[in-house]
Amino acid sequence: MATRIDTAQREILLVEDAHIRPMMGNRVLEPLPSRNIPYPVVDPFILVHEAEVSVKPGQEPVDTTHAHRGFDNLWYAISGSSSTGHSTGPGGSMERARLDTGSLLKLRTGRGALHAEGIGADEVREGKASEMRGVLFWVNLARKDKDVEPSAQLLQAQDVPVRHEGDATVRVLVGEGSPIELGTPGLILDVELPNGGGLTIPIDAAFNGFVYLLEGEATFGANRRRASRRQIAVLGSGGGALAVEQAQPGTRFMLMAGKPYGETPIYNGPYVD
């Protein structure tokens, strides 16, 4: 019996600007969470932040270390580089990692872990400045998995699977070919359209998802909704593909999609139970 592939196009439920949240001395763009986007339509994604982090030699150090629990914390370097620490070493000791442009750090916080220890400290010790534009996102874990051992995984840029579809460059952070796995089946792509135009992206019909615009603007979905820099476009349910059309040259966006757990998160500050 032949397998039927769902080629129906997703629609866009809504398009919204990211709001600005002051945090640890930075102005952070926060498309998620949003009072206008119910969690069930983006489950398993809890939070998305975009920010620029800059640390210079001689600058007064800021203690950015803090704890998390109950989800996967992923930090993606869009440009620049920075170092950071997390308590996933033996006995909860701190481990260091350096993110360069195009690399991804996944911290499975599980039953609890410290992270963001000494951001940029390695570069400062070397007498260099640390500057990085990054996207941070929290992806929920199933309630049964929230007490797992914390762990960290660094995916270097050269190890990120890359494919080309026409003029589009698609980097697969989570999905086919990537060693990074979430607690649920998922897909996270960094898509660049240097010459504009468009492409069609296959998405599992069971996944929730959204697009976040890093640069430029484009038309998304069967209902042809326009979205631009700093906006989130939430996908409707069903359908096995997302159409992207009429992108401006230089458009870049992230697509995040995943199979929902159907569990309501219980929030306690940086802990998600």
Kindly report, residue by residue over 109-133, the tens digit of the pLDDT. 999 999 888 888 888 888 888 789 9
pLDDT digits (tens, 9 = 90+) for 139-155: 999 999 999 999 999 99
Give the sheet arrangement for strand 113-117, strand by strand.
Answer: 66-68, 113-117, 82-86, 95-99
How many beta carbons lie within 10 A of that of residue 37, not counting itself?
18
- Residues 11-35: b if buried by 16+ CB within 10 A, e if exposed: bbbebbebeeeeeeeeebbbbbbbe
58 vs 264 pLDDT, higher one: 264
Classify strands 168-174 and 186-193 as parallel, antiparallel or unpaired.
Answer: antiparallel
The reported pLDDT for the residue numbered 60 is: 65
Tens of pLDDT, residue by residue over 155-191, are: 999 999 999 999 999 999 999 999 999 999 999 999 9
CA 159-164-169 angle, to 5 degrees, is: 75
User: What pLDDT is attached to residue 213?
Assistant: 98
Return the pLDDT at 7: 62
| Residue of 139, 145, 200, 138 lying closest to 168 (CA atoms) | 200
> Is pLDDT of 5 > 60?
no
